[in-house]
Amino acid sequence: TVALNPGERHDLGTIGLDPGIRLSGRLLTPSAEPVSGGQVSLRLANDPPYLRGSEGISSFSATSDLEGRFEVGGLKPDTYQVRAEAQGFAEVKVTEVVTEDRDLGDLYLAEGCRLMGRVSDRTGGPVPSLVVEARRGSLENLVGARRTATDGEGLFSFEHLATDNYGIVVKQRERKLRE
């Protein structure tokens, strides 16, 4: 605390910042090739459930370089949910307790799964323009739900899903009212 009186000037000098803890690693394909441009994000593992589908209260991110390497800095000691993803692969999630600088080593992205189907009415005709959600784990889980829409033939598909159980929900598109 610095008390200043009217007209006084006080030089605080140099203020050093704590760089925090660094978490690093490398993203690889299933065949051990580096993944360039992959996204790695961290959030506090104890963020409230309503924030888990978003960036969260305390979130950090990095992009992997040409060798698949990434580094996230400025962390405080805590437990973090680490999520790695890249185009064409299923996301990988791990939970890590971070107390000091740490190298996670190699994180292997998995080939994604494809889930597809067709929505029809009672007569078997296609139903276009419906919202289809794939909810990982259960129908109640809205965190990280993937969404798509049915096409003119009532067809839908989800690409690059992680291996897991999914609940599927089909619903009408929400319509915005004119003001």
The pLDDT value recorded for residue 136 is 82
The pLDDT value recorded for residue 19 is 81
pLDDT digits (tens, 9 = 90+) for 82-117: 989 898 898 888 888 888 999 999 999 988 888 999
The pLDDT value recorded for residue 141 is 65
Whether the CB-CB separation of 113 and 136 falls below 8 Å is answered with: no
pLDDT band (50, 70, 90) for residue 68: very high
More confident residue, 144 or 157: 157
The pLDDT value recorded for residue 49 is 56
- Take residue 102 and report the two structure tokens written for it: 């740490």
Instruction: Please name the residues in contact with 33: beta carbons below 8 A apart, sequence gap of 6 or more.
Output: none
Nearest residue to 154 via CA among 124, 133, 174, 134: 124
The pLDDT value recorded for residue 108 is 94
Rounded Cα–Cα distance for residues 32 and 62 (Å): 20
Nearest residue to 62 via CA among 33, 92, 42, 89: 42
Rounded Cα–Cα distance for residues 120 and 57 (Å): 41
Count of CB atoms within 10 A of residue 50's CB? 9
Mean of the per-residue pLDDT values of the chain: 86
pLDDT digits (tens, 9 = 90+) for 115-155: 999 999 999 999 999 999 998 877 776 666 889 999 999 99
Whether the CB-CB separation of 115 and 134 falls below 8 Å is answered with: yes
The pLDDT value recorded for residue 55 is 47
Q: How many residues in the chain? A: 179
Q: Residue 66 above 50 pLDDT? A: yes
The pLDDT value recorded for residue 54 is 47
pLDDT digits (tens, 9 = 90+) for 9-24: 888 888 887 788 999 9
**Max CA distance (Å), the chain:** 84
The pLDDT value recorded for residue 116 is 95
Whether the CB-CB separation of 169 and 117 falls below 8 Å is answered with: no
User: Is the entire prediction scored with pTM above 0.75?
Assistant: no
pLDDT digits (tens, 9 = 90+) for 19-59: 889 999 999 999 999 999 999 998 888 876 555 444 445 57
Whether the CB-CB separation of 28 and 106 falls below 8 Å is answered with: yes
Whether the CB-CB separation of 110 and 89 falls below 8 Å is answered with: yes
